[in-house]
Amino acid sequence: MKIVVCIKQVPATTAEKRYTDDLRLDRASTEAIINPLDEYAIEQALRLLDAGSVDAVSYLSMGPDQAAEALRRALAMGGDDATLVTDSALAGADEWTTATVLAAALDKLAPDIALMGMASDDARGSLVPGAVAAKRHLPLLSYGSELAIGEGTARVRRLSGTGFDWIEAPLPVVATVTDQVGEPRYASLKGIMAAKRKPMETWSLADLGLGEGDLRGGALTRVTDARPPEAKPPTERIENVGADEAATQIADWLASRKLI
Amino acid sequence: MSNDIFFFAEFAAGAPERSALELAAGAAELAAAGGGDTVALAYGAGAADGAAGLGAHGVARAVVLGDDAPAITFGPAAAVAVADAAPLAVLAPATPNGRDLAAALVGIGDLPAFGPVRAVRIADGAVESEQATLQGSVITTSRPVEGAPQPSVVLVLANTFTPVEGGSGSATVSQAAASDHPFTRATVAEHHEAEARVVNLEEATIIVAGGRGVGSAEGFEQLNELAAALGGAVGASRAAADAGWVPYQLQIGQTGKVVKPSLYLSAGISGAIQHRVGMQTAEHVVAINKDPDAPIGEFADLFVVGDLFQIVPKLTDEIRRRKG
């Protein structure tokens, strides 16, 4: 039983973000981390490994050369090996492109479960896992607050509108988990040292048998404009007043905006 | 290819969810701009019976995908319906179910994907969408590349469009073809209902949200009373949901609901970026926090520095008094 956790390197959530003159993110000057929501997928996979439910945990990422750092950090948390898909033709990849490439890489790695975080911190579309499942002709088990493995099946505990369900499908599957699986572990010093010796492969698009025609020029979408968000009016403050006065002033404020 | 606009319409207990009515309004607007029809892809409990009623919301045709099953199982049938008609766009709600269905279309049909968007329009014969990325630090506009396959699949945030009420008419209803795609192999193995009824926060126009500072499930009682006085619903930060004070269905933020009410009144929420992305498009934000340096003070419209346990009950009384 083998899990491949797909991870994405993203700009640090709270990092000061700088933009080039054409309003593209200046990634070179921005601290990069493992997408925080992918760390929950790593944690879920490692818990199943710790429990003996799976035999191996591998990592897969698509990105520039420096995404190897994110894979090393994942390996420091645990697991066995990692693969980076990197290719100059992938700059500007959109969700469809990413799904196409990850699906081809997962076809080669052939895990029982391809596991992903519920969303990426930077774009938040959450479409890649389902599109990967579609491309690989596998069931999708998404938004699990827990992933469990049964006899030839996997299941996720998923929040519903009024409670929760356990959704089940036959293996192999593509699955995603939420931040409810439990807090991701920290990498120990021993883990960080061990990670340096764990195998990491780098694949190009040619290694995946993907040509330019397969990726239709690199993306199906393009960004035509990027601009800073609209400036918000300054915050009004109520402070250094008693609770009665504060309540009156809040009510006045709400009334003047016809909210009560 | 057509200029039709398709949208996913989720049903519960025989009635369309608010997201379905919002997307019906949005799809009708885009269809009118391009001279096409508005077509619903209806699914969920009671969709077969309720689909014709979408005609009152400007829907010409409705394709019923299926009844009560995991949403992803309807993806393949939706992909067939979409491939047959090749509409200009398919709108999907930016909810877990909507994202699963949108992803199925993108992967099965090799289609361009957009969103979650806060605005979408037709420009020069193609879909143009506007999206806040990198935690809202930049607003981008995107289009399909020249020669990209049709339709564009667009995830739409709640409250991007306003439902149109008071219409009449009936949509022509058809049943989608059955599929044996692997997506249909996901089944509900166990179903658990919560003890108490949980409100759908995406439908609330006023939200009173509590965080770590509320301190306990009992503390949320005060927020319930304020919400009742305002005619709104109670939401929470992840910290409050993790603590078990409220069910996870009420969590607002990156990994919970993304809401856009006319009033968002928070108490005891510091305003971390993960919370902010779930509520930053609210029209009016009022925050009560005892920490004068809480991050929420930087983006609230009105920031009240003080003890929520003293202010909230008095505010509830004051609002009740004014409303009579």
What interface predicted TM-score (ipTM) does this complex get?
Answer: 0.94
pLDDT band at A30; cut points 50, 70, 90: confident
Cβ of B169 under 8 Å from any chain A Cβ? no
pLDDT of residue B293: 96
Backbone angles phi, psi at B11, to 5 degrees: -110, 150
The average pLDDT across A147-152 equals: 97
Map tokens 């959704």 to a residue: A167
Chain B residue closest in CA terms to A218: B145
State the pLDDT at residue A21: 61
Is residue B96 within 8 Å of residue A143, measured between CB atoms? yes
- A239/B315 touch (CB, cutoff 8 Å), yes or no: no
Range A18-32 average pLDDT: 67
Q: What is the pLDDT of residues B26-74, one digit of tens each?
A: 999 999 998 999 999 999 999 999 999 999 999 999 999 999 899 999 9
pLDDT at position A28 over 80 = no
pLDDT of residue B165 exceeding 90? no
Q: Is pLDDT above 70 for A25?
A: no
Q: Measured between alpha carbons, how far is A16 from B151 in angstroms, rounded to an integer?
A: 37
Per-residue pLDDT, averaged over B237-259, amounts to: 94
Per the CB < 8 A criterion, the answer to whether B278 and B252 are in contact is yes
Contacts of A223 in chain B (CB under 8 A): 140-142
> Quick one: pLDDT at residue B89?
98
Work out the pLDDT band at A252, boundaries 50, 70, 90: very high
Residue B128 at interface with chain A, using a CB cutoff of 8 Å? yes
| B146 Cβ contact partners less than 8 Å away, ≥ 6 residues apart | none
Contact A247 B255 (CB under 8 A): no
- Does the pLDDT at position B175 exceed 90? yes
b/e per residue B112-143 (b: at least 16 CB within 10 A): bbbbbbbebebeeebbbbbbbbbbebbbbbbb
Among the residue ranges A3-17, A170-184, B102-116, the one predicted with the least confidence is A3-17
pLDDT average, residue stretch B89-100: 97
Gap from A237 CA to chain B (nearest CA, Å): 5
The whole-angstrom distance between B19's CA and the closest CA on chain A is: 13
A180: Cβ–Cβ under 8 A, 6 or more apart, which residues?
A145, A146, B248, B255
Closest to B212 measured CA to CA, from B292, B267, B257: B267
CB contact under 8 A, A229 and B132: yes
The percent of residues in chain A predicted with pLDDT above 90, rounded, is: 82
User: What's the mean per-residue pLDDT of chain B?
Assistant: 94
Burial class (CB in 10 A: 0-12, 13-18, 19+), A53: middle
Mean pLDDT for the stretch of residues A141-152: 97
CB < 8 Å to B317, chain A? 247
Nearest CA in chain A to B247: A163
Provide the shortest C-alpha distance from residue B265 to chain A (in Å). Answer: 10
Q: Do A127 and B96 touch (CB under 8 A)?
A: no
Supply B16's token pair. Answer: 């369309």
> Between residues 31 and 70 of chain B, which touch chain A (CB distance below 8 Å)?
70
Sequence-distant (6+) residues with CB within 8 A of A6 are A38, A41, A59, A60, A61, A102, A106, A114, A115, A116, A128, A129, A132
B232, B204 in Cβ contact below 8 A?
A: yes
pLDDT in tens, B179-199: 999 999 999 999 998 877 778
pLDDT band of A91, cuts 50, 70, 90: confident
Query: Residue holding tokens 């993790």?
Result: B242
Which residues in chain A are closer than 8 Å to B102, comparing Cβ atoms?
Answer: 127, 130
pLDDT above 90 for A157: yes
Residue B201 clears pLDDT 70, i.e. is over it: yes
- Whether the CB-CB separation of A73 and A199 falls below 8 Å is answered with no
The residue of A14, A95, A224 whose CB has the most chain B CBs within 10 angstroms, and thus the best one to mutate to test that interface, is: A95
Percent pLDDT > 70 in chain B is 100
What is the model's pLDDT at position B198? Answer: 79
pLDDT band at A233 (very low <50, low <70, confident <90, very high): confident
Q: State the pLDDT confidence band at B134, using cuts at 50, 70 and 90.
A: confident
CA distance A226 to A233: 21
Residue among B118, B153, B280, B302 with most chain A CBs within 10 A, to mutate? B302
Taking the CA of residue A38 and the nearest CA in chain B, the distance in Å comes to: 12
Query: Whole-number mean pLDDT of chain A?
Result: 93
Average pLDDT over every residue of B214-223: 97
Chain B residue with the nearest C-alpha to that of A233: B301
> B298: which chain A residues are within 8 Å (Cβ-Cβ)?
235
Give the pLDDT score at B311.
Answer: 98
Q: Is B301 helix (H, G, I), strand (E, B) or coil?
A: coil
pLDDT of amino acid A18: 65
